[in-house]
Structure 1
Amino acid sequence: MFNKLLTALKRNKARLLSLVIILVAVVLIKVVLVDIVFVGQQYEKNRIITPWGEKIKSGNLSVDYTIEQTLNDIEQLGLNTLNVPVQIDISSLTANTMSINLGSKKKAVELIRKLKYKGISVILEPYPFIQNGELYETELKPTDLNEWFWNWKQVVLSQLIREIAKPYKVYALCIGSNFDQFENQYEYWTDVADFVRTEYKGRVTYRTNWWYTAEWNTQKTSQYDTYTLKLNNPVLEKLDFISVAAYFELTDKDTNSVDNLVSAIHGTQIFKRNQDIYNELKNLSSKWNKLLFFGELGFPKRNQASVHPWNPSPSNIKNDQEQANCFQAYKEVFEKETWNLGFSVFAIGKEDENKNYYPSDLSIEVIKRWYN
């Protein structure tokens, strides 16, 4: 009798344990589903659909960004996407090797987790940090391209795809940015694009740097005509969209009205170049049938912001209005263009006296209204 009772208790205990396991599993599944639905709702809330198509409204981060400031900036600017950098340490302008900065990667993952929960899309960028950030990627010129590109694929891109892009399903991966000195190594770059496609099924882009042309320049050689090189770069066919760092030199004036800046986008005034930036960008998009995205759009809060937008200190005179006017001019020219995918504000994520590109209050008002 005692043995029968013990057996019955054991059976009931096993059934009870099974029931508990089933209940826990049901609760966990419900939590996950609720989380998925919430993230989906957040994504839908943050999508920007205009009469001219879906648009990207993004921001670039300085590598010393803070997560708290970044999240605040996303809210106040009304962004739906963020360009997240992972610092790639490179020792010199001629180095052929590089390494992913582990602290930067860890911070990027922490931020991306928060962004995904908020429904903010991510453009992941391997950010060249040369000689501790003292030098620029536009001047990088490796001595051995075979070695450099092997390392860029295997040491950098492969790891970022495996550890961040795929598990966190980022919106897009930027396979390179502003490598002016060897962007014309077409075979290497198409190989990089093909390599990434085999490893990653998301969107792929490359960010090319700004350029200038002049109507008085008749020397149509590679030394003087980088636009033609960009226009005929076959790697652009491999991309989902073309990114451009839009630091085009517009005027030769300390300050400008919005109307004058709009006019300069259609015909630059500096050095009487009369460069038609609008049509050059449109032709670049049309040539490859790809949407064009301003992967960096920034102006310093200074006089002469439109003269040398690539220079964080073109003048010692602070001018919030001039920065805002530059943003407003780009907004008026490109906001309604169906071939323009959007823009990314350079740069947010940290604000102090050294951050000349951080948008002023006047610029924030312009950016908030963009696509609204």
Structure 2
Amino acid sequence: MRKKILIIITSLVILSVIFAIKSTNKNNTITEKIKSVNLSTDYEIEQALKDIDDLKVNTVNVPIVIEIPDLDSNNMKINSYSKEKAIRLIKILKSKGINIILEAYPWIANGSKYETDYNPVNKEKFFEDWKNILNILIKDIANKYDVDIMIIASNFSKLEMYEDNWCDIVNFVKGRFKGEVTYKTTWWYTASWDRKSNEDYYKKLNNKIFSKVDFISIAAYFELSDKKENTVKELVNALNSTTIYNRNQNVVEEIYRFYEKYNKPIYFAELGFPKKDNAATHPWNSEVSNVENGKEQARCFNAYKIVFEDKDYIKGFSIFAVGKKGKDKNFYPSKESIEIISKWYY
């Protein structure tokens, strides 16, 4: 009899622990380090699944294409094919236990223009329409298919100053979406000799949007060196004092200040380098050189790994970009880069 009671009590304890674990994660909070990949907008599901295995990631950033005709346009719509493909992929990834980040991805002038330059004429209409798009994605995908994280906006540099509007959108999304919410700000630079660059940095640092999100996301295309090739040690040093244009920017310290101010983890929501000479010069530029150089790309990734892998305040990173191979896919990681990335957080 005592043995049966002991078995029943043990079973109840086990069930309680399981319930506690599920309760802890009921809001889809990812407690492990995020090791993610960004998919290119034209990703192929089969290639994406192969890349996920090769890079040994636990999370995938799935983009939903938002079509915008031009840099000043207020017209926008969700691309139906992109939405349908995302749902198919998310179902597969969830069955494999992969975490999902959903991103409304601005696709301007058929991908020929940068979202950092997007500046719609009617700002009030933009925020109203953007909120409606996010609401559709929440209802049709995020909540329905158990998405873990939503990125509410990406690299809208010319719109970032509208703090109250963005805070309103964060509150709106948090009121409807059960997972974590973040906002992706783009990289920046400061130079010891450029007063305005430092003023711009402090404006970014003090933007109220970062007080509202669950964690802070950065597209980490920081310009490090003007050399076509660097040693890993040189790149590690450059993250603490950039050599390009003699700026002497301390990227590590400036990133840490966001954590220090808001006590929120920092996530590299885009970490990418073209597999070219000068990959560390303009990491955001896929055409920075005509000379292919997969080893220099790998050294850039390795420098970030060395500097940030053991930092407790870093939530993780997402590699830009995989899911489709081709001659025009200059950000696709080289074999040397894959070797570095696959061993990160593994």
Question: What TM-score does the superposition give when structure 1 sets the normalisation length?
Answer: 0.84
2:116 matched residue in structure 1: 138
Q: Does 1:169 align with 2:149?
A: no
Q: Does 1:55 align with 2:55?
A: no
Paired residue for 1:193, among 164, 170, 182?
170
Percent identical residues:
50
Q: Does 1:246 align with 2:217?
A: no
8 Å CA contact 1:97, 1:147 repeated in 2 = no
Letter aligned with residue 128 of structure 1: P
Paired residue for 1:367, among 337, 341, 346?
341
Paired residue for 1:261, among 203, 221, 235?
235
Cα deviations across residues 216-274 of structure 1 (Å, max 9, x unaligned)?
Answer: 12347xxx632112100111111111110000000110100000000000000001100
8 Å CA contact 1:302, 1:318 repeated in 2 = yes
Paired residue for 2:283, among 304, 309, 332?
309
Counterpart CA distance in 2 for 1:197 and 1:342 is 22
Counterpart CA distance in 2 for 1:295 and 1:332 is 18
Gaps of 5+ in 2: 1-17
1:279 matched residue in structure 2: 253
Would you identify which runs of 4 or more consecutive aligned residues in structure 1 move more than 4 Å? none
1:216 matched residue in structure 2: 193
2:312 matched residue in structure 1: 338
2:182 matched residue in structure 1: 205
Letter aligned with residue 190 of structure 1: C
Cα deviations across residues 163-196 of structure 1 (Å, max 9, x unaligned)?
Answer: 1000111110000000001111101101111111
1:355 matched residue in structure 2: 329
Paired residue for 1:90, among 33, 58, 68?
68
Structure 1 pair 102/263, CA: closer, same or farther in 2 (3 Å)?
A: same
Counterpart CA distance in 2 for 1:356 and 1:96 is 30
Counterpart CA distance in 2 for 1:130 and 1:321 is 32
Per the alignment, in what secondary structure is the counterpart of residue 158 of structure 2?
coil
Letter aligned with residue 251 of structure 1: S
Q: Does 1:73 align with 2:47?
A: no
2:13 matched residue in structure 1: none
Counterpart CA distance in 1 for 2:324 and 2:196 is 43
Cα deviations across residues 36-73 of structure 1 (Å, max 9, x unaligned)?
Answer: x9xx9xxx9xxxx9xxx720000001110000000000
Counterpart CA distance in 1 for 2:153 and 2:196 is 29
1:291-330 equivalences in 2 (<5 Å)? 291-330=265-304
8 Å CA contact 1:246, 1:296 repeated in 2 = yes
Paired residue for 2:204, among 221, 224, 230?
230
Per the alignment, in what secondary structure is the counterpart of residue 168 of structure 2?
helix
Per the alignment, in what secondary structure is the counterpart of residue 342 of structure 1?
strand
Counterpart CA distance in 2 for 1:302 and 1:219 is 31
- Once the two structures are TM-superposed, the CA of residue 127 in structure 1 deviates from its matched residue by 0.4
- Once the two structures are TM-superposed, the CA of residue 363 in structure 1 deviates from its matched residue by 0.3
- Once the two structures are TM-superposed, the CA of residue 201 in structure 1 deviates from its matched residue by 2.0
Cα deviations across residues 122-162 of structure 1 (Å, max 9, x unaligned)?
Answer: 000000011111111111101111111000001x1000000
Cα deviations across residues 290-311 of structure 1 (Å, max 9, x unaligned)?
Answer: 1000000000010000000010
Letter aligned with residue 112 of structure 2: E
2:4 matched residue in structure 1: none
8 Å CA contact 1:299, 1:326 repeated in 2 = yes
Counterpart CA distance in 2 for 1:127 and 1:217 is 32
8 Å CA contact 1:89, 1:99 repeated in 2 = yes
Gaps of 5+ in 1: 1-36
Paired residues, number = 320
Q: Does 1:157 align with 2:157?
A: no
Cα deviations across residues 8-29 of structure 1 (Å, max 9, x unaligned)?
Answer: xxxxxxxxxxxxxxxxxxxxxx
- Once the two structures are TM-superposed, the CA of residue 112 in structure 1 deviates from its matched residue by 0.2
8 Å CA contact 1:245, 1:296 repeated in 2 = yes
